[in-house]
């Protein structure tokens, strides 16, 4: 029973996170992006709990708790609070229309599955790796196609979720100190992102990255 549990859940959670990232690619509202990222991170935290129970690794419970605290609570709260304090528009800018972004996301998923099929022979490994690769690619799509720092920042966070999910699903988790160090670094990076948002809003009255294309002496 335990073996069947560990076989099915990585695939289930990877697919769930991928579905949420594909939805994020088509969303243009800040609150929607942050909310879906919160749900995606919650799936990651729940999977870490299940992994801790099924593999009898109680130290992963601390990792799951920290994931929930940092990615489900603190980071989304930081982003929403900064946006409200600085009067950031709820609608974010993108180089692509929502339908076009979704199409690009679907192509990325197909490419991820093709790449995973060429790398992994087993069906379980194929699905998990394909979903994680696609998750990273959809985060990269957000990072590239969004004009504003909020959208790009969330794209980076989605990519990080994909990398973390890969470690949990296939390697059974990294050593706890490494995992906690990664999360601490992510939290520090988010604080720096928040400071950059505030400076950009104060100087340019906008969080669009278009203003940074011109060098200022």
Which segment, 32-41, 152-161, 180-189, 197-206, is predicted with the most confidence on average? 32-41
Using the predicted structure, report yes or no on whether residue 7 has a pLDDT greater than 50: no
What pLDDT does 123 receive? 58
How does DSSP classify residue 184? H
Closest CA to 145 of 135, 136, 155: 155
Q: What is the dihedral of CA 69, 73, 79, 85, to 10 degrees?
A: -120
Q: What is the DSSP string of 57-118?
A: -THHHHHHHHHIIIIIIIHHHHHHHHHHHTT--SBPPBSS-HHHHHHHHHHHHHHHHHHHHH
Quote the mean pLDDT of the chain: 78
> How many angstroms separate the CA atoms of 149 and 192, rounded?
12
Which pLDDT score is estimated for 85?
Answer: 79
Name the token pair of 39. Answer: 């749900």
| The two structure tokens encoding residue 4 | 């069947």
Tokens of 215: 């060098």
Give the C-alpha distances (Å, rounded to integers) separating 18 from 15, 47, 75, 111, 132: 5, 14, 20, 14, 7
If DSSP codes are grouped into helix, strand and coil, which group holds residue 5?
Answer: helix
**39-to-34, 45, 128 alpha-carbon distances in Å:** 9, 10, 19
59-80 pLDDT, tens per residue? 778 888 888 988 899 889 988 8
């Amino acid at each position: 029973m335990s073996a069947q549990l560990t076989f099915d859940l990585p695939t289930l959670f990877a697919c769930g996170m991928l579905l949420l990232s594909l939805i994020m690619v088509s969303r243009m509202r800040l609150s929607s992006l942050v909310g879906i990222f919160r749900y995606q991170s919650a799936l990651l935290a729940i999977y870490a709990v299940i992994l801790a129970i099924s593999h009898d690794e109680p130290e992963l419970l601390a990792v799951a708790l920290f994931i929930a605290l940092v990615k489900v609570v603190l980071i989304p709260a930081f982003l929403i609070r900064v946006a409200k304090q600085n009067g950031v528009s709820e609608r974010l800018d993108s180089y692509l229309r929502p339908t076009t972004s979704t199409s690009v996301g679907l192509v990325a998923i197909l490419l991820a599955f093709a790449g995973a099929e060429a790398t992994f022979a087993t069906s379980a490994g194929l699905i998990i790796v394909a979903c994680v690769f696609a998750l990273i690619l959809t985060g990269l799509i957000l990072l590239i196609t969004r004009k504003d720092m909020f959208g790009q920042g969330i794209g980076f966070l989605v990519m990080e979720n994909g990398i973390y999910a890969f470690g949990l699903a296939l390697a059974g988790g990294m050593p706890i100190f490494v995992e906690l160090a990664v999360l601490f670094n992510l939290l520090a990076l988010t604080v720096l992102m928040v400071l950059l948002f505030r400076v950009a809003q104060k100087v340019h009255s906008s969080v669009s990255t278009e203003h940074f294309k011109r060098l200022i002496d």
